[in-house]
Each structure stands twice: as structure tokens, then as C-alpha cells.
Amino acid sequence: MPEVDQQQALETELEELAADVVAQAMKAGASDAEAVAQEGDEFSVNVRMGEVETLTESGSRALGLRVFLGKRSASTSTSDLTPGGIRQLVEGAMALARITEEDPFTGLPESDEFGALPQDLHLYFEDVYSLPGPERIEWARRAEAAALAADPRITNSNGAGFDAATGRKVLVNSRGFAGSYRTSYAGISVSPLAVDATGQMQRDAWWSSARRMADLDSPESVGQEAARRTVRRLGARRVPTQQVPLVFAPEVARSLIGAIFEAASGDAIWRGASFLAGKLGESIAASGVTIIDDNAMLLPSGVGGFGTSPFDGEGLPSRRTVVVEDGILQSYLLNTYTARKLGMKSTHNASRGLAGTPGIGCGNLYLLPGTLAPEQILGGVPAGLYVTSLMGFGTNIVTGDYSRGATGLWIDNGQLTRAVEEITIAGNLKEMLRNISAIGNDLEFRGSVASPTIRIDGMTIAGA
Amino acid sequence: MTNPAASPATSHRRYFFEKFGLTERLLERCLGEALSAGGDFADLYFESVTATSLGVDEQIVKSASQGTSAGCGIRVLSGERTGYAYTDNLSPERLLHAARTAALIASGPARQPVQGFVETPAANLYPVPLGGFDLDLAARLELILRADRAARAFDPRVVQVRAGYSEELRRILIAASDGAFASDTQPLCRLNVFVIAKDGEVSTKGSAGGGGRAGLEQFSGSKSPEHLAHEAARGAILQLGAVPAPAGEMEVVLGPGWPGILLHEAVGHGLEADFNRKKTSAFAGLIGQPVASPKVTVVDNGTMAGRRGSLNVDDEGSATQETVLIEGGVLKGYLSDKLSARLMGMPNTGSGRRESYQAIPMPRMTNTYMLAGDDEPEDIVRSVKRGLYAVNFGGGQVDITNGKFVFSASEAYLIEDGKITAPVRDATLIGNGPEALKYVSMVGHDLKLDEGIGTCGKNGQSVPVGVGMPTIKLDKMTVGGTGR
């Protein structure tokens, strides 16, 4: 029966397991091999209208393998960690590699490129599981209660959640790299619903997340902020089609920085599938725009950022890369494969899931803050839109065409006035980046991609 | 067990019993443990998935990958509360431990599950050979190599082609404390082509895909590698000469098939029972009310043979069905799972779906489409003075609370004086769910379902879905371009 084997597998250390998989692949005839092993535990509770709605608690482990037969490669993954499962993982990968064709650019990085940052990056804190079960439920309940108490128009809720998770990731390859790290996460979120006198319903949400409990905002402050954001959407109306300055709040400005990352990613570049292809060294954004990707970054609290890790998905040490400096495109974001395609060096931005070939991922990606307070940026706009949320997938990084659903607040003489909804904002990223006319001083890392408030001119609102 | 030994379900079940050592006695013990602290209901969801993908890029078979995962999710319902635990280790000790963890949601005297299971009678919408797909990788490679050749041959301005094939076989087994028992083997495959075209300084992209719950024979006709490759290449070439999309409210004609994503976003999500039970949907309380023009009838149908969104049984083991959502413009019903059906006193529409054993089921769509009308598609275009004709779309999204939805056109044209003229650049269309379909003034007789490419996301869970629609005209909708 399989149970016995599975129990044994659970007791084997993840690192040993990954090393063993690499050894087995080499024994089976691979010219190179790379294994990734992951394990994780999660706890999550959702409370709605004061009552527990869902409670989930679980853990899982899985293995991924990439093998090379010279310039051919293939990959496999499994959650079956028994000796039989691992045998299948190795044999499957070897069989698949034989049906692929030679790609002169494929292969592991060179041996002298590997490395992991030696210092403690403060990514793992045991205290995310320190709250007793009933207390975790209470945190979610407190956050929702604070939102419901904040305003009489908040009468309903999509619920509030408390989540905690820990994980371990191991990467081992046949060129001598072996690395592993643990991470932890805790989060609170609330999504209240407000109704106004006309019956119009609006929802919004707010959250706090951190690697350790001490860095989480209080449940009450998360609930109150969620309430503020929800109530300010009430009474939303459309505005006529027009061109006005747009001010992007940090939580939506970050998606534009994310689009620049995607456009600067090596895979899009070598294919010519990006509006930034071939633009290295050229001015692509307004002066004053500096974008950094740093996967070695510590937050001001001394804790590792949400995009921080000691090494990338191919085992190259984490580092800081200046992507755009004062408007000039300084670097693409590359893994080993895309770097070879472009005749460049990896920027240590390989991302690695369980299966498949490494992709390109950002570390902590951000727009360097400017000097203006957000109120000063708004103050400079006689009539315009303060964009607080975006909808849809209308970002085309090949052409740069950009068209998204938006909601926000109308700016009248520098002041935020009524709520706006059911409109689109459109432009082309090439021009939008050049038309960034103000950058705020309010950079805050709430996730791995962050931006201060920014103002962009020349975009079109389509509405009534 | 009451099903006849020869039914296909027997082999689905036998897979789990033989491969993982499950027995009916063990399932009963787990359910008993799950209800050891009370609770109204418990179920076990076993899942075993094998997925394969192959890719051709720059005329080279560059990638091949295979993944396998198996696990069990155990759920306990107590009033409106759900306790959930999952494990990727299917040993009896781990399963019983997960059951005890899920049981913590309730607090009361133990309840006994119903003794003996009754198998859900289910259709056989996607017969697969015993043991699933044969693993003839050469035949699958041939599909993507054909697509690659066809896309390159389409036009010299096609400079990059990638073609991918992916296939999964998902086996599930569900046993519940109410005696419900179901098992299924669900194949799903998909062929995709991505093209980059370049002319001077201008680069554009195009993509096309197709698939479903059927074998390789489905990749012919409109899903043949050549047709999909031509569609992807044509889309990219067309964009090379596209003009800026117009901005503002105008008449919009949507072509047949995939533009049915309108229905998925504008009404589908808002009609999922959980949102209405919690009164967080803009459609809450509107049953029996007009929410669309009288020409509009919309159904969700999980029982269509071989389609991407179809299922013999949902992920709670209930048989799927055809559910009328809107009939003659009037809101008729919601899509429900077991929990919402029980709490709302409504029928269960067999719409409980989940992404994997790690996720709690929720009401979801299957294949959602509008029934055909009487209008000639040509007449519909001819009736428009100035507007947009949109025939292909990227993704969409909805805020179910205020009803606002978007969907992004990737192939669209201006209509000027009843004639289709210049292609336009990508633009997002935006509307308000409970209002948008009231402006449907013409409905074509050309109902078409999409080619099998849809994936729907809700609360972080992705599931395959289908959509469909005839050509329709909306008297007004907001088009989010930059032009006049």
C-alpha cells in the first residue's frame, strides 16, 4: 500500500529530496538537471457579518524537475513524493526531453554565476502562527466590525479575513548550486458594502499584509480605511467624454509600473513583442522617472520586502537593477535564456514555478518617489480625475495601447469632489510615460510592486 | 453502491480505490470524523490531475512539460459556516486528520453520516478511452507544428510564431454525508497560436485558440491548426493598419461566438447565488423583474457534449443542467450550489465548482449563451449609422456590487453609414450589468459558441467555461478609445 512510502517521504528533508532528484536525473542520463521543492502551510478565516463563514487549514508539498539532454530540455512536477512518484518524475522528464528539439540558447547558468546572498534577509517569522485559533477569528471580526461601525451607510459586507502562511523553497542543480529559504506571511482584509438613499450599492476593500505579526496594521485601522474607501464611492456618476489630467492613486499607479516591467522583460524584448524593444539607452519616460527592481531589499522596518529572496529562480544571487533612470531605459529584465537570446547577462530576474521553464519575475519593483505631497499634485489640477481603481485587461504591451475601466473622484480646483464610475481611461503607454508630469513623495510597499501618486496628462476619458 | 457495474462511473471510482487504496469504509470513517463535532453536512473531494503541455517557438519544439498532483479536500458545513482542510497525502491517518481539522467549524454533539452511498446518475458528455488520453505525443506535436507553418506562411509580415498545446485529465471522486456519491474523468485540451507581426516600426500581436473536452479529432474545421493560425496571423496583420478606437457612447454590434463574454460579465457573475444570498450583487432581489430587452434569453448549460465548460457532475457531485437565467428579458433564476440552495430554499442548479482540491466550491458558470433571434446579421450592421462592430475580445471583469463591467475588444471595426470600415486599435467597452442588455435592439439568428478558450476567475479560483451569442446590436454602450 502507498501509505507507508508517503509517510517516509514526509520525514525526508526537502533539501535531500531535491538533491536526490537531481542525482537520479543525472544517473538517468541527463547532461544537467535542476530540481525545485516547495512546501507550505496556510491558515485562513473569513468572517461575514460577525459570523465565521469559512475556515481553512492545510499544508502541501511538491517537487519540480527540469532536465537537459545537451540543448534539449523538458520539465515535470508532482505532488507524489513517494519513491515511485519520484521515479516517474525523473523518467517522465527524460522521455519528454527526447521529443523536444535542440535550442542553442537553452541551459543552466554558468557555474561561476551561482550564488545566494549570505546575510539574513528576515523573510521568515514564526509569529505569524502565534495567535491562538479563536484570536485569529477575533482579528477578522474586529476588522469587519470597525468597518460596519464607521458609517451608518455601511450596512453589509463581503466579509473580512485573517490569513497566515509559511513556506519553504529549495533549489538544487547539477552545477553545484543548492539553496533554500523560508518565508512567512500574515494578512488582514476587509470588504464592506455601502448603500445610499437612492439604493446604489458600492463595495471597496482594504488590507494589511506583512511577514510578521508586529508589522500588521491593527484590525480597527484596516476596517476604518476600508469603510472610508467604500463610502467615498457612493453617489458615483459618469462624466462626459473628454481629455483631462489624471492623477493615479498609489494602488493603481503600481499597475502602470507593473506594465513597464512586463514591457522591459527579456521574453517580450527578444521577440520584438514590446513597445520597449530596442529602446535601451533611449528616453522612454519623462525626466524624473526612475524605476528600480531590487530583489535584495529590506523594508525600513528591517524586514525583507515582499519581493525579496536570497537568490532568483535559477540560483543567481539577488541584486538591485536600475530599469529606468531619469527617463532613460537603462536595463531590460532578464533570466539566463532571454539574456543569451539578446547577447546580454542575466539581471537575476528568473522566476521559477514548479513546472515549466523559468520565466521572468520582479523582485521589489518601484518608482522612485518625488518631492510633492499627493495634496500638492491634486492642488495643481483645475479639472481632472483622481483614479482609485481600474478594471479589465486592456493593456497591450506590444503596441502600448492602454484602455481600462476606471472609477475615482472628480478633481475640481485641486479638490476631490464627487465619485465617478462607469468610464474608461485610454492612451498609449509610450506617450503616457512621457506625460508623467508629477510624482508624489508617498511611496509605500504594500506589496512587491509599489508606486507613489503620479499625474499623467493627455489621456482620454470615455463616458456619457 | 447502487450503480450498475458496467457504467463508466465504475472505472472512475476504481481508479481512486485501486491507486490510492480508498475503500467505502474509509470514506464513511472520514465523513464520520468530519461530523464528529456536529455540523449539517460534510463531503470529501478527491482529485487526481495529470497535465501535459508542449510548445513550438521559432520553429523549434522548445518545451515539453508534465505535471501530476493528487489530493483531497474535506468540507464541513454548519449553518452558513464552512470548515475546510485539504491534504496531498491520501493515507488514512492524514485524511482522518484533515477531517478532524475541518470538523472544528462546528461545536455540538457528533452527527452520523447517512449509511451507504447513492451514486449520482450522470451523463457521459466526454467519453474518454479507459485510462484517459492515449499519450501519442507525436500526434500532438504535429498539431502545433502545423499551426506554426500555417501562421508563418500567412504573410511575410508575421515575424514571430508560438504554438502551444495543453491537455489535462482530471479525475474526481466525491462522497458526502447525505449519501451522495459521484465520480468522473474530465479530459480538457487546448491549442493556442500567438503571432507577432511587424511592418516598419509598427509591431502588433494576434492570438487564437480552441479546444474542449474531446480528443484530437476536434482539431478540424474552425478548430484546425491552420484555421487557428490564420486567425491569429490575420488579427495581428489587421492591427498593423488599425486606427484609434472611438471614445464615448455609441451603437455597438457584437459578432457571434466569443463576444458572448458580454453575458458572462454583464449578467452571469451577478446571478451567482452566493452573491445574491449575501445581497452583495446588483441583481439581488430582481427575480421576476425585467433586466434586458424582451429579445434576450440567456441560459447557462453544463450539459453540452464535449464543450470546455461542460461537466457530467459538478464539484459537489450534483448532475449539471441547463438553467434559464433570463427569459424574454425577465430575470428567472440564479446559479446555485448545495450551500446556497439550502440556505435560500432554492433549487440546486449543479453549479458548485472549484479550481482544485485545495479550494472551497462556489456557484460558477459553465457554458453561458444567448439564444438566437430572428434578425439577419447583415441587417444588424446595416442599421447602424455610426458605431463599433466588435468580433473578438480579450478578457473581461465585473464589479458585481455596482454592476459595472468591462470587456476588451481585440478585433473591432468602425461602422459608418451601415458599412464596416476601418479596423480599430484595442479598446475596452464598459457598461452596467442590470441596464446594458435593455439596449439590445436586434438579435441575429446566427448563434455561435466560442472555440473553447475561456477561463473564469472568481475569488482567486480559475475554472474553464464557455460562452456564446448570436450577432446582437446594443443601441448604446461606452467605447473606451482615444479617437473622436
Nearest-by-Cβ selection for B160 from A2, A10, A273 = A273
Q: What is the pLDDT at residue A200?
A: 92
- Same domain, residue pair A403 and A256: yes
Indicate if A178 and A317 belong to the same structural domain: no
What is the rounded distance in angstroms from the CA atom of residue B396 to the CA atom of residue B389?
17
- Statement to judge: residues A200 and A290 lie in one domain: no
Residue A290 shares a structural domain with residue A354: yes
Look at strands B461-469 and B472-480 and give their pairing.
unpaired
Q: Do A255 and A193 have their domain in common?
A: no
> What digits encode the pLDDT tens for the residues B63-94?
999 999 999 999 999 999 999 999 999 999 99
* Chain A residue numbers touching B87 (CB-CB < 8 A): 58-60
Output the tens digit of pLDDT for each of chain A's 464 residues. 344 444 444 445 899 999 999 999 999 999 999 999 999 999 999 999 999 999 999 989 999 999 999 999 999 999 999 999 999 999 999 999 999 999 999 999 999 999 999 999 999 999 999 988 889 999 999 999 999 999 999 999 999 999 999 999 999 999 999 999 999 999 999 999 999 999 999 999 999 999 999 999 999 999 999 999 999 999 999 999 999 999 999 999 999 999 999 999 999 999 999 999 999 999 999 999 999 999 999 999 999 999 999 999 999 999 999 999 999 999 999 999 999 999 999 999 999 999 889 999 999 999 999 999 999 999 999 999 999 999 999 999 999 999 999 999 999 999 999 999 999 999 999 999 999 999 999 999 999 999 999 999 999 999 99
Of A185, A209, A228, the domain-final residue? A228
**Residues A129 and B251 sit within 8 Å (Cβ to Cβ):** no
Question: Residue holding cell 532528484?
Answer: A21
Among A61, A79, A157, A404, the strongest candidate for a mutation testing the B interface, having the largest count of B CBs within 10 A, is: A79
Cell numbers given for A294? 531590487
d(CA B389, CA B378): 12
- What the block records as the C-alpha cell of A180 is 533554500
Specify the pLDDT at position B116.
87
Q: Coil, strand or helix: which one is A66?
A: strand
Given this model, what pLDDT does residue A175 score?
97
In this predicted complex, what is the ipTM? 0.93
Helix (H) or strand (E) run with residue B192 in it: strand B180-199
* Inter-chain CB pairs, A–B, below 8 Å: 269
Residue A84, H or E segment: helix A83-99
Q: Which residues of B touch A423 (CB under 8 A)?
A: 430, 478, 480
**Are residue A246 and residue A138 in the same domain, yes or no?**
no
Find the angle CA(B389)-CA(B390)-CA(B393) to the nearest 5 degrees. 175
C-alpha distance from B204 to closest chain A C-alpha (Å): 6
Q: Are residues A173 and A195 in the same domain?
A: yes
Amino acid type, B146: R
Of the candidates A193, A241, A273, the beta carbon closest to that of B205 is on A273
pLDDT at residue number B4: 40
Is B426 in contact with A58 (Cβ distance < 8 A)?
A: no
- The secondary structure of B255-308 as a DSSP string is -SSGGGHHHIIIIIGGGBHHHHHTT-STTTT-TTSB-S-TT--EEEES--TT-T
Which segments in chain B show pLDDT lower than 70?
1-9, 129-134, 484
Contact between A193 and A158 (Cβ < 8 Å):
yes
**Largest separation between any pair of C-alpha atoms in chain A:** 74
A291 shares its domain with A178 = no
- Count up the domains in chain A and report the number: 2
Contact list in B for residue A393 (CB cut-off 8 A) is: 394-397, 408
Domain boundary among A228, A257, A285: A228
Distance from C-alpha of A246 to C-alpha of B180, rounded to nearest angstrom: 55
The H-assigned helical ranges of A403-462 are 429-434
Contact check, Cβ <8 Å, B248/A462: yes
Output the pLDDT for position B9: 61
Q: Are A439 and A445 in contact (CB under 8 A)?
A: no
pTM score, two decimals?
0.95
Distance CA(A307)–CA(A349), nearest Å, equals: 11
Q: Which of A68, A403, A456 to mutate to test the interface with B (most CBs of B within 10 A)?
A: A403
Mean predicted lDDT score pLDDT of chain B: 94
Strand A201-203 relative to strand A178-195, pairing? antiparallel
Residue B122: predicted pLDDT: 84
Q: Which of B61, B69, B358 sits opposite A101 (nearest CB)?
A: B61
CA triplet A360, A365, A370: central angle to 5 degrees? 155
Q: Say which residues have a Cβ less than 8 Å from residue A402's Cβ, sequence separation at least 6.
A: A259, A394, A395, A396, A425, A426, A427, A428, A429, A432
Q: Please name the helix (run of DSSP H) or strand (run of DSSP E) that holds residue A351, with its range, or none.
A: strand A350-351
Among residues B180, B164, B175, the alpha carbon closest in space to that of B120 is found at: B180
- Asked if B70 reaches chain A (Cβ–Cβ under 8 Å), the answer is yes
DSSP-H helix ranges across B349-467: 377-382, 433-436
Closest Cα in chain A to B248: A462
Residue-level pLDDT at A7:
43
Write the Ramachandran bin of B58: left for phi over 0, alpha for psi from -120 to 50, otherwise beta: left
B426 within 8 A of B410, measured Cβ to Cβ: yes
Q: Using one digit for the tens of pLDDT, what is the confidence trace for B166-213?
A: 999 999 999 999 999 999 999 999 999 999 999 999 999 999 999 999
In angstroms, the CA A116 to CA B305 distance is 52
Q: Cell numbers at residue B327, please?
A: 427569459
Q: State which residues form the domain around A138.
A: 3-228
Q: Give the residue on A whose Cα is nearest the Cα of B103.
A: A55
A51 to chain B: closest CA residue: B81
CB atoms within 10 A of CB B473: 25
Closest by CA to B105, choosing from A237, A53, A412, A235, is A53
The cell 459558441 sits on which residue?
B449
**pLDDT at residue A3, as a whole number:** 42
Confirm or reject contact between B68 and chain A (CB < 8 A). yes
What does the block give as the cell for A107? Answer: 541551459
Cβ(A418)–Cβ(A235) under 8 Å? yes
Asked if the Cβ–Cβ distance from A54 to B247 is below 8 Å, we say no
Do B67 and A355 lie within an 8 Å CB cutoff? yes
Query: What is residue B415's predicted lDDT score, i.e. its pLDDT?
Result: 98
pLDDT at B7: 57
Fill in the DSSP letter of residue B361.
-
Same domain, A250 and A107: no
Q: Is A268 helix (H, G, I), strand (E, B) or coil?
A: helix
What is the pLDDT, as a whole number, of residue B133?
54
Q: How far apart are the first and last CA of chain B?
A: 67
Query: What are residue B225's phi and psi, to 5 degrees?
Result: -55, -40
Residues of A whose CB is below 8 A from B20: 2
* Residue at a domain's end among A228, A244, A270: A228
Q: Do you know the residue count of chain B? A: 484
Distance CA A320, CA B397 (A): 35
Minimal Cβ distance to A271: which of B98, B160, B245: B160
| CB atoms B431 and A422 under 8 Å | yes
Which of B60, B401, B426 is facing A202, going by the closest CB pair?
A: B401
**Are A12 and A21 in contact, with CB atoms under 8 Å apart?**
no
Nearest residue on chain B to A44, judged by CA atoms?
B84
In terms of domains, do A185 and A249 share one?
Answer: no
Alpha-carbon span A256 to B84, nearest angstrom: 37
- Cβ distance B481 to A460 less than 8 Å, yes or no, reads yes
Residue A208 belongs to a domain with what CATH number? Answer: 3.30.2290.10
Q: How far, CA to CA in Å, does A125 sit from each of A184, A239, A301, B311?
A: 6, 48, 13, 43
> Please, is B288 exposed, middle or buried when counting C-beta atoms within 10 Å of its C-beta (0-12, 13-18, 19+)?
exposed
Cα–Cα distance for residue pair B456/A271, rounded to 1 Å: 28
Interatomic CA distance for residues B326 and A165, integer angstroms: 42
Closest to A109 (Cα-Cα) out of A355, A347, A356: A347
